[in-house]
Structure 1
């Protein structure tokens, strides 16, 4: 991709030099020729052809941020959880009472 851009800019530089050195040519005409035939179209082409790379980079940054947030959330949950919640119950039986007072008592309204 960059080889085409470099070649086209080379051609437009030669066009600008030809414009500047021509009998009826001017330096202002050479500058306008270089900008309108060289820089402007090639900047648009580079922008359009670079879009997939920018999207990949943005997606990678988003995935890295999501993974970091997920890792931080799991670390916070592991630090806040009581010791009984960190280790799974391997017995397979239902607990007889509420663990660690997690269930609030039910009260009647007066």
Structure 2
């Protein structure tokens, strides 16, 4: 996934460098490079975020906290 992101940034940087003005280059990089890249990483990173959340929830559920238990319970 990250190789695609690196390649996309490379293409976006080259496209922004070939722009005729500095403002056009910056806007090209933002709207052609960083915007779509952020969307891509967010969409394709969702399964990893879900796995991490499930792992955290399983860890919390597996803790057996019996600190307040008495002998007669």
Map of 1:10 onto structure 2: 10
Aligned CA RMSD, in angstroms, stands at 1.5
Q: Mind listing any 5+ residue stretches in structure 1 that lack a counterpart? A: 20-24, 86-110
Map of 1:48 onto structure 2: 43
Q: How many Å apart are 1:59 and its aligned residue?
A: 0.7
Give TM-score, length-normalised by structure 2. Answer: 0.89
Runs of 4+ more than 2 Å apart: none
Map of 1:72 onto structure 2: 65
- Give the paired residue count: 73
Pick aligned residue for 1:27 from 19, 22, 40? 22
Report the 3-state secondary structure (helix = DSSP H, G, I; strand = E; otherwise coil) of the residue aligned with 1:72. coil
Give TM-score, length-normalised by structure 1. Answer: 0.61
Q: How many Å apart are 1:81 and its aligned residue?
A: 2.7
Q: Mind listing any 5+ residue stretches in structure 2 that lack a counterpart? A: none
